[in-house]
Amino acid sequence: MTKIPNPSKDSLGHIRLTSHTGGNNLSPIVWGSTSPQTRGPVVGTTTNRNNRNVIGTHSGSYSIYRALAVASGNLDRKHQADLTNTSPTDQIGPYPSWFDPDQIVSLDPWGAEIERNFKSEIAAQLDIKPTIAITRAHIFLPEIMQAIEKKRLIPDGVFLLENGSALVTKIAVEPVWHLPGIAKRFNCDESDLRRILFEETGGMYPELVTRDDLKVFLPPIGGLTAYIFGDIKDLSKPDIPLTARVHDECNGSDVFGSDICTCRPYLTHAIEECVQGAQKGGVGLCVYYRKEGRALGEVTKFLVYNARKRQIGGDSAAKYFIRTECVAGVQDMRFQQLMPDVLHWLGIRKIHRLVSMSNMKYDALIESGIEVVERINIPADLIPEDANVEMDAKKAAGYFTTENIPDEEELAKSKGRGLNE
């Protein structure tokens, strides 16, 4: 790899604070406009600090790795992406939801096709980056092969291949927050939201409290990936059956198969249901959010595991949520209020089969105006033995189930294995 001269040894000029107005060559973003031209591009560039109209920068938490690449001399800080042949494989929208400033507040509806939407600005060397990328892929999971072997799925060469691969369109989305809309969604004052974001990120973004003219924030958090099974345009057609799951990241289960929860079994079951739905003339959707450990993080999650297993009486469904609250101060920080945004961006108005037992996700979908016809349980034979503690606790807490809701006595009997077993 060719090393770029270390920037610390070059003249970088004066440090220019962005915490004060002035020196901004761009018009403000008009959120909810009916065209990308009147809305304006989202520009979080660090190559030219006069050409910024947002707080933060692109790529979420990965912006820190960019800084390391620049500091170590591996990346020219003035590099602008060559976007030749990177355009989306499938076109999405625009849909009426794109023009409602309250309907979509956590992503940029126009973020996938910046070359088409902002051609003249890019020609003028404005460093605009996509916040959405759309491609096509084959995905392979052992559980899908097992479903084929058990004749639950039949390869058709269109949605499912003989080797067990499912054909999908997949979409990566980076968060782009419209702060007035975020504040409204969480029923708080925008100035309070800005101050708390500033304080709880250690003062990382002073513009939150000094630049009320900047209304868009690129937060340093993970985004989401959407996997579509079938024709992507069918997502916006309420008469075409849609099978969907919105899944929050669980690295231990999703990737490594940890059996303390049902995350991977529920996810792979949803994928099987999505494939079946597409084969029956419908369309399937799995949305994967980066909200590890209920957005508490994996360290907190593992601390909770230890606390659950070591408490008097051992791991118990009766104390499942209590131990999380003792460690984290809250049971769950995923706050599903923002979750429906990507569905509205895809034009979805009706979900025929929702593969989820989460009452928070269901409530958020309904409150956002998306109709849900049927909710789908995870089959009992897919639940790992050690995950019954989680399942019983969730059923008792009001999560969706078609089974009997355990009472206090049954919850006390529901036990997980010990740490050394």
Catalytic residues: 332, 334
Q: Report whether 235 contacts 361 (CB < 8 A).
A: no
Q: Which of 251, 245, 254, 334 is nearest to 294 (CA)?
A: 334
Q: Which of 275, 244, 273, 254 is nearest to 166 (CA)?
A: 275
DSSP E strand stretches across 236-282: 242-248
Q: Report whether 335 contacts 183 (CB < 8 A).
A: no
DSSP label of 28: P
DSSP E strand stretches across 129-265: 132-140, 165-173, 177-178, 216-218, 224-229, 242-248
Within a 10 A sphere around the Cβ of 33, how many other Cβ atoms? 16
Radius of gyration of the chain (CA): 23
Helix 388-397 to helix 320-328 angle, to the nearest 10 degrees?
90
For the record, the structure tokens of 87 come out as: 């355009």
Cα separation, 226 vs 173, in Å, equals 8
